[in-house]
């Protein structure tokens, strides 16, 4: 079970890297970055709750409030990314995706 947790954590970090790379490309107005950003956000959406579930199964300490806040922020990010795929968002909204992503990482790191 520990191997599963570590594999999910590895995939979660990969999703974060893909989301960050897609966002960096999107900030340069590259519309082709949309699929990378969406894939990264979806990876985070799948692996995040899976990590929480595995941690519960392993009887590890889990802060469910923190997980809920991170999920809510991720859903806001995902909503903006999906809207951006349908029609181009203004630059401010794209920057908001970046700020929300940074906020999600900050919650993960600083909320202990």
- Confidence (pTM): 0.91
Evaluate the CA torsion angle 107, 99, 34, 25 in order and state its sign.
negative
pLDDT at position 41 is 95
Chain centroid, CA 80 distance in Å: 12
Counting the structural domains of the chain, the total is 1
Q: What is the pLDDT of residue 50?
A: 97
pLDDT value of position 70: 97
Q: Decide: 40 and 19 in contact? Cβ < 8 Å.
A: yes
Mean pLDDT, 10 residues at a time, the chain of 112 residues? 96 95 85 86 97 96 96 96 89 91 96 90
Contact 41, 81 (CB under 8 A): yes
Domain that holds residue 74: 2-110
């Amino acid at each position: 079970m520990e191997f599963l947790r570590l594999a999910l954590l590895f995939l979660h970090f990969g999703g974060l890297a893909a989301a960050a790379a897609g966002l960096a490309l999107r900030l340069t107005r590259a519309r082709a970055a949309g699929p990378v950003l969406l894939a990264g956000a979806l990876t985070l959406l799948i692996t995040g709750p899976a990590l929480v579930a595995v941690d519960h199964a392993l009887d590890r300490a889990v802060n469910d409030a923190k997980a809920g806040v991170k999920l809510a922020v991720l859903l806001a990010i995902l909503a903006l990314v999906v809207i951006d795929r349908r029609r181009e968002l203004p630059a401010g909204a794209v920057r908001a995706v970046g700020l929300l992503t940074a906020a999600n990482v900050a919650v993960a790191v600083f909320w202990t």
